Structure 1
Amino acid sequence: MRVLKSAFVIFSVIYSVSALACDVKVGSAFPSLPVENGAVVFDEAPIEKDPGDTSADEQMGIDVNFVSCSDGTKKLIGKLPFLADTGKVRAAFFARTGQEAKESLFVIHSVEIHSDTGVKYSGDYYTVHVYQNTVNGYVRDERLSTYFGNGGDILSDDYKDFVYVFPYKSESSIIEKLASASYKNWCMGAPVNLAINKKTSIHSSPVLADVTRMYLVAGDKVKQEGVEAGWLSIMFKTPKGKEIRGWIKCENADGC
C-alpha cells in the first residue's frame, strides 16, 4: 500500500508539471512566466507612429502576451507604456489580491527619465499593471492598477531630501501591501477612518504640484475615499460640519 501511495504521488507531481510546462519561445523583454495551459511572454514590439511622423527610427515598446501550449497562438494581454523609451520590466509575478481562488498577474515597468519634466525626479518613472485571469483571458484590472499606480521619487527644490517616494518598485513592496490591514479594508470596501499624524497639506489631485492653501493638523480625523500610488483621497468634516475633500500623502495618516 505504501509503495502504491508513493507511486501515485510521483505520478501526480509529474502530471502537474507536464500540464503546466510547454515549449514557449522566451520573450525578448523579460523571462516568461509559466501558467496553466501556456505562458505569459514579454516581447519587444514596434509601436505605432503618430500621424505625420516620417522618421526612419523604429521605436520599440513591450507587449505582454499569453501564448497557448496547445496551438502556440498568441493573445495580447496589454501594452506597457512607451514614455520616450522602451523601459524595462522590473518585476512580473502572480499574487492573490482577495478571497478569489485565482491569482492576479502583476507587472512593474519603469522608464529612465531623459527629459526635463519640470519635476525633480530621481531615478526611473514606474508604472504598475494588474491583470485578472477571467474566462475570456487576462483582463486589465483598472481598480487595482490605479491603487498601486505610477510615479517616481521626487526631490526637494534644493535636491537634499525626498518629498515623495514611489512605494511600489518591487515585488516585495506589493506583496507586503497586499497583506496589510489597510489594503484588506480597501479591498472589501469597508469604511476607513484615519488620524492625521502631522501638519499635512491638502492637494487637489495626487500630484505634488497641485497643493492647495488648506491643511490638516495632527489629530484631525479623516475618511479615506480613494487610494492611488501612496496618496489618499480624503474627506475632512470641520467642526461646523463643512466637508472638505482632497488628496494627502499616505505617510501622513496613521493606519494607511
Structure 2
Amino acid sequence: MKKLLLFSILFFVLCNSYAKDYPLTDNICIKSEVKNSSLFIYKSDCNKKKYLLDKFEVPNDIPEIDFVFLKNIKDERYIFISLKYSEDYRDETNKINYAGKYHLNYVYQCKKECTFDKKISNFLGGGGDLIDIHTKKVVYAFPYKTSNNVEKDLNSNFFKIWFNNQLNDGIVKNKTEIYEDARLNSKKIAYLISGDKFKIIDITSRWLNISYAGRNKKPIIGWIRCEDTNVCNNK
C-alpha cells in the first residue's frame, strides 16, 4: 500500500512539475511545462515575463518537445516546434505499425506576439516511421523528425515555390499509388505511371494532395508520395 501511494505521489509530481527551457536568442526563450498530463508551451523573455503559446494533449502519453528553432522567412520571424510522443496505432490489417515516436510540427509567426501559422505547420505535418510488423522493415520514414531535415526543406526551391503559391502542378517520375489519405496505410484508390501530369491541391509531410484527370476526364482526387514526382526535387 505504501509503495502504491509513493508511486502515485511520484507520478503526480512528475506530471505537474516537469519544466524545460529552450533559449533561442538572448531575449527569446521557449519554456515547456507538464501539468495534469498536458504539455504547456510558453514564449518568454528568458527571465520572468512569459505568455502561453500553446497547450497540447495526446491519448495515452504526455508529449514532449523534440526540437525547437527560430528562422526568418521573407523577413518574417517564425518559431518551429516539434513534439514527439508514443503512438500505439496499428492498422486494421495488422500489417503496419509505428516504429518509435510519433512527431508533430507546429510553426508560429512572431511579430509583437506569436500566432499559430497553419500554412507552414500543415506543410510539415505530423507522422512517424512505419514498419512492417512481420518483416520489421521500415516501409515509410517520416521526413521531418529532425531539425536538419526541416531546415533543409525550408531552404529548398521546393518550399520557396510552394510558399509563394507558385507550385500548381507536377509530373510522375515513377509509378505511384494514389491513397485516400496522406498515409501509406490508408486505402489505395488508383495509381499513376511515369509521365502522368497532375494538379496540386495541397502538401503535407512530402505528400501531395492531387487532382488527376483520368481517361473519362473525371478527376481523381487523392494523395501521392512526393518522391515519386518531379516536385520535391527542386533543390
TM-score (norm 1): 0.74
1:156 CA displacement: 2.7
Structure 1 match to 2:208 = 232
Query: What CA deviation, in whole Å up to 9, does each residue of 1:55-105 have, x standing for no partner?
Result: xxxxx33211123468x3431001234332123311010112x31x23210
What displacement does 1:37 show?
Answer: 4.8
Larger Rg: 1
Secondary structure of the residue aligned to 2:76 is coil
The partner residue of 2:132 within 149, 156, 164 is: 156
Question: Conserved in 2, the CA contact under 8 Å of 1:44 and 1:63?
Answer: yes
1:102 paired with 2:76, answer: yes
- The reply on whether 1:83 has 2:73 as its aligned counterpart is no
- Give 1:131's aligned residue: 108
**CA distance in structure 2 between the partners assigned to 1:94 and 1:171 by the alignment:** 11
Aligned with residue 43 of structure 2, among 66, 90, 109: 66
In the alignment, the residues of structure 1 paired with residue 90 and residue 216 of structure 2 have an alpha-carbon distance, to the nearest angstrom, of 41
- Distance, in Å, in 1 between the alignment partners of 2:154 and 2:148 is 10
Equivalent AA in structure 1 for residue 149 of structure 2: S
4+ runs deviating over 6 angstroms: none
Q: Which residue of 1 aligns with 2:164?
A: 188
1:144-182 Cα distance to aligned partner (Å, 9 max, x none): 111101111112353343222110011111110011111
SS in 2 for 1:174: helix
Task: List aligned pairs for 1:182-221, cutoff 5 A.
Answer: 182-221=158-197
> What one-letter code is carried by the residue in structure 2 that aligns with 1:149?
G
Over 3 Å counting, the alpha-carbon distance change for 1:34 and 1:244 in structure 2 is closer
| Equivalent position amino acid for 2:84 in 1 | S
Residue equivalent to 2:6: none
2:60, 2:188 → 1: CA distance? Answer: 31
Does the CA-based 8 Å contact 1:80-1:109 persist in structure 2?
no
Structure 1: any 5+ residue segments left out of the alignment?
1-26, 47-59
2-side partners of 1:254 and 1:40: how far apart? 37
Of the structure 1 ranges 156-165 and 82-91, higher mean CA displacement relative to structure 2 is found in 156-165
